[in-house]
């Protein structure tokens, strides 16, 4: 049994330091007994050491790049995010990630006509006080995972690549919020100075020296309900339109829902029984909505524009302009 004096001294040390987990404190004390500790002590040195560790240069560019985001108040803001090409290149050289890539590639090789599926996952983390009214430590996180690795691999956080971690307060000032952030990151992955993960792929060097060319296409956006609303800029369950992909599905609680008849193209989601009868948006119909709203914004006040925005997204504008005659 440990000496009571030693235990009391250990507890006094724990109480005198900023909060850290018991596992972290035990690991630190073990390191202090067996290894030489760094001479630097200030938190700024720790930050500089962290920054130096991520400033990698790879054959496909630096690991950390800056994207320019437009602000609601006007102007732009530069934000640091991970370069998807450089991040995948470095991850492929790690032993565990490398072995998984090689195993899957030997079983299901990818190519320009058969790219692997990329999943982008967004989530907000609140490491600060969860009950605080204004928790400024909330973070918006963006991850990417290769779906072909399988559920067993993706169940481990080591197989998810962290693309961005931004303060929620900073994202709130960005025009479009997370929608613009995700768009900027996807442009890095699929339109970065000629590098395109789907069309050109990325040649990586595995841990054992094997070279593979990985092709990826965006196949899935994974978020909780709140995250989906932020990324797609739609009100979701509380709004007029309950599905961002289906053109004519509307909420039965919509003010004009009673006027929707059996012969209309619009349909209440409570009456949808066969998904094959749904009509999905095309690039042309999305552009038609955006152009219509853009022309209306300068001439309408805030309340009228909000009402028109909800109506346009519900499919009424598309129905009036017969978008089903427009092919993609």
What tens digit of pLDDT does each residue of 168-211 get?
889 989 998 899 999 999 999 997 666 789 989 999 999 999 99
Q: What is the mean pLDDT of the chain?
A: 83
pLDDT of residue 326: 40
Question: Has this prediction a pTM greater than 0.85?
Answer: no
Percent of the chain with pLDDT over 90: 37
Give the length of the chain: 328
Burial 125-141 (b: 16+ CB within 10 A, else e): eeeeeeeeeeeeebbbe
pLDDT higher for 19 or 85?
A: 85
**Mean pLDDT in residue range 308-320:** 57
pLDDT of residue 277: 72
141 close to 161: Cβ distance less than 8 angstroms: no
Q: Cα dist. 59→89, 176, 183 in Å?
A: 9, 33, 24
pLDDT band at 234 (very low <50, low <70, confident <90, very high): low
Q: Cα dist. 116→96, 150, 215, 316 in Å?
A: 19, 11, 6, 37
DSSP structure string for 107-163: HS--BTTBPEEEEEEEEEE--S-TT-TT-TT-EEEEEEEEGGG-HHHHTSGGGSEEE
pLDDT higher for 225 or 16?
A: 16
Cα 30 from Cα 24, distance rounded (Å): 10
**Mean pLDDT in residue range 293-306:** 86
**CB neighbour list of residue 323: distance below 8 Å, 6 or more residues apart:** 247, 282, 284, 285, 288
64 phi and psi angles, rounded to 5 deg? -105, 125
pLDDT of residue 328: 37
pLDDT higher for 59 or 227?
A: 59
Report the interhelical angle of 283-296 vs 302-314 (nearest 10°).
Answer: 160
pLDDT of residue 153: 93
Cα 178 from Cα 282, distance rounded (Å): 22
**CB neighbour list of residue 262: distance below 8 Å, 6 or more residues apart:** none
pLDDT band at 160 (very low <50, low <70, confident <90, very high): very high
Q: Is 62 helix (H, G, I), strand (E, B) or coil?
A: strand
């Amino acid at each position: 049994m440990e000496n009571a004096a030693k235990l009391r001294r250990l507890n006094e040390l724990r109480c005198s330091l900023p909060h850290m987990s018991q596992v972290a404190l035990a690991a630190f004390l073990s390191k202090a007994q067996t290894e030489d500790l760094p001479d630097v002590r200030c938190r700024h040195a720790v930050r500089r050491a962290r920054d130096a560790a991520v400033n990698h240069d790879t054959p496909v560019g630096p690991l950390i790049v800056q994207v320019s985001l437009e602000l609601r108040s006007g102007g732009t803001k530069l934000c640091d995010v991970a370069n998807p090409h450089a991040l995948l290149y470095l991850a492929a050289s790690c032993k565990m990630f490398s072995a998984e890539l090689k195993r899957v590639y030997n079983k299901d090789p990818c190519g320009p006509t058969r790219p692997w599926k990329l999943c982008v996952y967004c989530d907000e983390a609140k490491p600060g006080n969860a009950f605080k009214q204004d928790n400024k430590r909330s973070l918006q996180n963006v991850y990417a995972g290769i779906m072909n690795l399988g559920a067993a691999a993706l169940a481990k956080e080591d197989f998810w690549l962290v693309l961005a971690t931004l303060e929620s307060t900073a994202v709130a000032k960005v025009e479009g919020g997370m929608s613009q952030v995700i768009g900027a990151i996807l442009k890095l992955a699929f339109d970065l100075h000629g590098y395109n993960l789907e069309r050109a792929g990325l040649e990586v060097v595995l841990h054992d020296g094997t070279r593979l060319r990985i092709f990826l296409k965006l196949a899935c956006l994974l978020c909780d309900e709140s995250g989906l609303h932020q990324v797609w800029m739609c009100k979701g369950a509380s709004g007029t339109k309950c599905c961002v992909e289906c053109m004519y599905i509307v909420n039965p609680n919509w003010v004009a829902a009673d006027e929707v008849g059996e012969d209309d193209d619009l349909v209440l989601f409570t009456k949808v029984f066969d998904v094959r009868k749904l009509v999905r948006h095309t690039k042309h119909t999305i552009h038609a909505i955006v152009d219509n709203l853009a022309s209306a914004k300068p001439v309408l006040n805030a309340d009228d524009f909000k009402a028109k925005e909800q109506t346009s997204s519900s499919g009424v504008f598309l129905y009036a302009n017969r978008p089903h005659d427009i092919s993609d």
